[in-house]
Amino acid sequence: MRPPAAWRTWAVGCAVLAVAAALLYAVGPKGAGAARADTASGHRWITDRQGRALVLRGLSTASSAKSAADGLPWIKEEDVARERRALGTNFVRFLLQWRKVEPAPGAYDTAYLDRVAERVRWYGERGYHVLLDMHQDLYGPGTGGNGAPKWATRTDGLPSAATDPWELGYAEPGTVRAFDRFWGTAEGGRDLRAHYARAWRAVAERFADDDAVIGYDLMNEPWGGSVQGPAFEAGPLARLYEDCVGAIREVDRDHWLFVEPSAIGANWGFATGLPRLDDPRGDGDEARIAYAPHLYPLPMDLGGGYTGDTRRRVDASLASWREQTERTARRLGAPVVIGEFGLDVGLPGAMEYVEKVQRMADEMGAGIAYWSNDPGPWAPWDAELRPTALLPVLDRPSPRAIAGDPVSYRWDARARELTVSWT
């Protein structure tokens, strides 16, 4: 891995402009310098325990956890140290698997949670905020995907064939049925949503006092099965989130709860029907619900490259994604974290695209997690852990936490200058 990037030495001497002085009224019940203003986009900031506005930048760790027998990502502690050195990140979206949390109905694997906690510590000791993400794709291993335990997978004998691209597997009959059984759209059997919410309570109980954890991503890319669109998002999905929020708040009143829209729609830039959720933290404390959509504009979600400014399609997708996301975040009263974005870094325009998304996140005051840190064609390192062309693009400075009301931050790559303004 290359030595610490040039900007880090440079940034010490570089101009960090603080516009306006620390105002006395910034001292409030949440402590000195608690963020209280909204982002320029009009949604809230995500804040830490001291009330500072957090600028979360990092990667997902890792897709390899999906198929690993132990459900853990490929990383060792030295890989976390290397990522910190190479990228200066402060955020990780860490994949969990329901099949590992609750391997048998009502039985929680505390040894698995201990191993997760060990990895959370690797990150936490290096200043990272960890978002625990209950990941699924295509429901579970019983339907050719990952996430749900086999005991919670009921397909009524319908098939789930492997597809290319993998996303098309969401339309396989066995997969649709498994989701319908989960959401209760197809009646009968165990209440799987109650199991899911209680599995979350078990996770939250384990991590309630862990300061390295910023929060819980309640479900990766939920899919409605045979119920789609607002009928799904405002219906079964919202009810599941309410159940999970309620279950988690029984044991953990402080960590942030991250909600995602349906897998298809908002992540492409369409509107979502997700309603505002209550957060029963108690004592009149402010809700800690964050909105964490993914960003996969349609041409790229199906494996295409970035066509840039000259062909309008992709840029229009980015613009509509931003507009819809900001509108939803304001409606939910929630800060924004881009829970996933990414592509094969060898595709045409890939670097330009990543740079553009990072700039957009900075403008929005949104957190961001690149998909993913699995060594290979999408990552900042190849299979031998040598840097790819992506590494210098992801390696950019940003404020980590701001005690006050952030106004803006901007990285000028050409001038190698970071400008941060806050009140």
Q: Which residues bind ligand IDC (CB under 6 A)?
A: 63, 66, 137, 146, 166, 220-221, 294, 296, 340, 371
- Closest to ligand IDC by CB, 360 vs 369, is 369
With contact defined as beta carbons under 8 Å apart, do 150 and 243 qualify? no
In the complex with ligand IDC, which residue's Cβ is closer, 339 or 365?
Answer: 339
Closest CB 64 distance from ligand IDC, rounded Å: 9
Q: Which is nearer to ligand IDC, 157 or 165 (CB)?
A: 165
CA–CA gap between residue 54 and residue 43 (Å, rounded): 14
Which residues have C-beta within 8 Å of that of residue 12, sequence separation ≥ 6?
A: none
Output the smallest distance, CB 169 to ligand IDC, in A: 8
The radius of gyration of the chain's CA atoms, rounded to the nearest angstrom, is 21
Nearer to ligand IDC by Cβ, of 47 and 63: the residue is 63
Cα-flanking dihedrals φ and ψ of residue 308, to 5°?
75, -165
- Helices 192-207 and 110-124: crossing angle in degrees, nearest 10, is 50
Q: Minimal distance in Å, beta carbon 167 to ligand IDC?
A: 7
CA distance 155 to 283: 44
User: Minimum distance between the CB of residue 263 and ligand IDC, rounded to whole angstroms?
Assistant: 7
DSSP bridge partners of 338: 368
The residue number with the shortest CB distance to ligand IDC is 137
Q: Least distance in Å: CB of 66 to ligand IDC?
A: 5
Q: Give whichever of 124 and 225 is closer to ligand IDC, judged by the CB atom.
A: 225
Chain-centroid distance, C-alpha 51: 20
- Distance of alpha carbon 126 from alpha carbon 369, whole angstroms: 17
CB closer to ligand IDC, 336 vs 343: 343
